[in-house]
Amino acid sequence: MGAVDLVYNLSRRLTDRRQDAEDLVQDTFLQAFRAWTDHRRPKRVKPWLATICLNLARSRYRSRARRPSEVPFEEWMVERRSGADPESRAVQEIEREQLYRAIRELPEEQRVAITLVDLSGFSTYKAAEAMGTPRGTVLSRLHRGRRALARLLGDRIEEVSR
Amino acid sequence: MMRWMRRGFRRRPHDPERNAAEYVSGELSRRATRWFEAHLLHCEDCWREVLLGRLGRRMAEEAREQASASLRDRVRAAVQFTSEGGPAGPSAPIGP
């Protein structure tokens, strides 16, 4: 996964709206660029970018993330227009919508651990470096997040199929 | 893997969450994996955690998204603007 995709996926899990996620991606790269030109250069770029993104999200976007989520009308329309036939698109939308909602319902630290390890392909060692926590803590958050996600989605699949 | 490491793995307290997390993430050594897979055959707690962990991981992987081309362009343009002395950049003039 490339650096922009990594930061984008992390940003999407840390913010409610796509627009906020894109702003966070841009801010992350600008801050990284400034640090880079100030000769604050990391040994490993991806965990460093992830740390910048996490810190920015915590400081700048936390208050916004508490607001009820709203999807801009244009984004809503674009998402519904794209895709194949209406039936499979509807199924995909339900599944994706459930998936995103289930991830959003996880506590932030579990969401971040899952995003870094399962979505971005970090080892738990690198994720621990990016999150600034011991690896054992990352393993625990990761597993609890996976388990919660499996249960949440399992319950919803049962509800839908009843 | 060294023998002491295998013993170290065996000596660990029985921790289904941690073992399942490492196993599902593919972070156990080959020998530790073999040991854990043998352990799974008779440990219901670890087996249940592994099943949930696998399902959760698969679900999480499904949520992966690609940044759009327009976002990549936007980031590139912002960094370029900053590097050329734009207002947010490190070389931005301090005063008027």
Q: Tell me what pLDDT residue A15 has.
A: 85
Asked if B71's CB is within 8 angstroms of A8's CB, the reply is: yes
Q: Which of B25, B36, B58 would you mutate first to test chain A, the one with the most A CBs within 10 A?
A: B25
Q: Does B69 touch chain A (CB under 8 A)?
A: no
B84 vs B96: CA distance, rounded Å: 17
Residue A81 has pLDDT above 50, yes or no: no
For chain A, where are the alpha helices, taking DSSP H only? 3-14, 18-37, 45-56, 62-65, 73-81, 86-105, 108-114, 124-131, 135-161
Of A87 and A20, more confident:
A20
Could you write out the DSSP letters of every residue in A22-68?
HHHHHHHHHHHHHHHHTT---SSHHHHHHHHHHHHIIIIIHHHHTSP
The 3-state DSSP class for residue A157 equals helix
Q: Which of B55, B75, B81, B83 would you mutate first to test chain A, the one with the most A CBs within 10 A?
A: B75
Q: Tell me what pLDDT residue A117 has.
A: 93
B17 vs A147: CA distance, rounded Å: 10
Asked if A123's CB is within 8 angstroms of B90's CB, the reply is: no
Angle at A64 between CA A58 and CA A70, to 5 degrees: 135
A68 Ramachandran zone, left/alpha/beta (phi>0; psi -120 to 50) = beta
Residue A76 has pLDDT above 70, yes or no: no
Q: Does B29 touch chain A (CB under 8 A)?
A: no
Q: Tell me what pLDDT residue B37 has.
A: 93
Residues in A touching B22 (Cβ below 8 Å): 124, 139
For residues B48-86, one letter each, b for 16 or more C-beta atoms within 10 angstroms of the residue's C-beta and e for the rest, the string is: ebbebbebbbebbeebeeebeeebbebbeebbeebeeee
Residue A80 has pLDDT above 50, yes or no: no
Query: Residue A109 burial (CB < 10 Å; 0-12/13-18/19+)?
Result: middle
Q: Tell me what pLDDT residue A160 has.
A: 56
Residue A8 has pLDDT above 60, yes or no: yes
Distance from CA of A123 to the nearest CA of B (A): 8
Asked if A149's CB is within 8 angstroms of B60's CB, the reply is: yes
**Percent of chain A residues topping a pLDDT of 90:** 40
Q: Tell me what pLDDT residue A104 has.
A: 87
Residue A138 has pLDDT above 80, yes or no: yes
**Packed helices B16-24 and A135-161: angle between N→C axes, nearest 10 degrees:** 80
Write the residue in B53, B72, B91 that is nearest to A4 by C-beta. Answer: B72
Distance from CA of B56 to the nearest CA of A (A): 4
Task: Report ipTM for this prediction.
Answer: 0.72
Q: Tell me what pLDDT residue A125 has.
A: 93
Write the residue in A7, A142, A153 that is nearest to B59 by C-beta. Answer: A153
Q: Which residue has the tokens 């087996």?
A: B47
Ranges under pLDDT 70 in chain B: 1-13, 86-96
Segment A139-155 mean pLDDT: 88
Check if the beta carbon of residue A103 is closer than 8 Å to that of residue B56: no
A24-72 pLDDT, tens digit per residue, is 999 999 999 998 888 777 888 888 999 999 989 888 755 555 554 444 4
Tell me the pTM. Answer: 0.72
Of A84 and B83, more confident:
B83
